[in-house]
A and B are shown apart, each in its own frame.
Chain A
Amino acid sequence: MKFWRVPLDADDIQVSKGIVYILEDRCKGCGYCIEFCPRHVLEFSSKINAKGYHLPAVIKAEECLSCHYCEIICPEFAIYSIEIPCESTENTKGIEIITKTQKTESTK
């Protein structure tokens, strides 16, 4: 993440991560989720659904913070994010913190 000024506790903060799900049959292609996602995770795809609407697609899955904004702005109940529990992600920051404390303990 780009910071204007790096917070002092940036290393300790675990940034949440999420997986975005799109229910293609419900989408009406308004593009609100694409426009207002703060992390630009979504983009219009060339795919259309049965009713002929252009669907959004996840283009930068690893950027999703699970902020749920796409979910709450969507008028169609067609998109939502589920938070990935920290342990099971490749959230390297979290892993780093764990290894650091392990090291300090073993050097004692």
Chain B
Amino acid sequence: MAKKTPKHPLDDLIRKDRIPHIWCPGCGIGTIFSSCLTAIKESGIDLKKFVMISGIGCSGRAAGYVNLDSFHTTHGRAIPFATGVKLANPELNVIVFSGDGDLFAIGGNHFIHAARRNVDITVICVNNFNYGMTGGQVAATTPNMAKTTTTPFGNPETPFNLPLMAYAAGATYVARWTMLHSRDLTESISEAILKNGFSFIEALSPCPINYGRRNKLKPLDQLKLYQEKTIIKNDAKPTELDINFEKGVVLGKFVDIERPTYGDSYNKICRPDKLE
């Protein structure tokens, strides 16, 4: 080592003293987190104008690793917390980074109502198809027939189609990528940050320790599945977006529309004196 090694390009955005993080080897959360940080960095927006909010779960730990203002909220409550932050201080760019269990099971109602109101926040959902942190139980996103600790014979339920739900509830930006498509994912997060309105990005991620192990998917096999069994189709119909790797999983940007945000409507109706 003759010369001093330069630092990692994202080092100023992570709390280096807490790295290595707790995520398991091969877990995709780190990659999605890194995409999110790259998008924040590339936006050129003052870093003091960002807030990251997470709920509970493996993905929820992100708020503790980011070197920005952040909040690690109670289970399922990242979105109401974010709504409050945005309404109190509309200048801030509010990013919710959390998992499928937190956002769509215990926090499911908050999600649909924030989308309905069109609160101007960006929601990134790491979807790993199960409850990773608590030992791999079935979740609202576990694919049909997949094995988890609580569905040893295969999951008899039908999972949520998250982009369809976001679209139906009124989100103005909806996209889905996997952690392998990290360049597209970063680009989508950048667009979502700049978008005026409720933006939702689903990022598929391997959970090798729980979901992967029970479904006999090694981390690399899961990434190969993301490579070979996905189809990029922007503007695909939200009803076609169910997750079935046999049929092929559709990725892309599905919704990008304009609609008055909650903040705008609220000011117009309740605080007309605040408008210039």
Separation of A29 and B23 alpha carbons in the complex (Å): 13
Within A6-33, which residues are at the interface with B (CB < 8 Å)?
21, 23, 25-26, 28-32
A95 at the interface (CB under 8 A from B): no
B27: which A residues are within 8 A, CB to CB?
75
- A28-B24, A76-B30 provided; 16 other pairs, C-beta below 8 A? A21-B6, A26-B20, A29-B25, A32-B220, A35-B220, A53-B25, A72-B31, A72-B35, A74-B30, A74-B31, A75-B23, A75-B34, A76-B19, A77-B8, A77-B14, A77-B34
B182 at the interface (CB under 8 A from A): yes
A59 at the interface (CB under 8 A from B): no
Q: How far is the CB of B33 from chain A (nearest CB, A)?
A: 8
B134 at the interface (CB under 8 A from A): no
B29 at the interface (CB under 8 A from A): yes
| B contacts, CB < 8 Å to A | 5-6, 8-11, 14, 19-21, 23-31, 33-35, 38, 179-180, 182-183, 186, 219-220, 223
Within A44-61, which residues are at the interface with B (CB < 8 Å)?
51, 53
> A25, A30, A77 — which one has the most chain B CB atoms within 10 A of its CB?
A77
Separation of A77 and B28 alpha carbons in the complex (Å): 12
Q: Pick from A28, A73, A80: contact of B20, CB below 8 A.
A: A28
B24: which A residues are within 8 A, CB to CB?
28
Inter-chain contact B23/A72, CB cutoff 8 Å: no
- 18 interchain pairs (CB within 8 A)? A26-B19, A28-B24, A28-B25, A32-B220, A35-B220, A53-B25, A72-B31, A72-B35, A72-B38, A72-B186, A73-B179, A75-B28, A75-B29, A75-B33, A75-B179, A77-B14, A80-B9, A82-B6
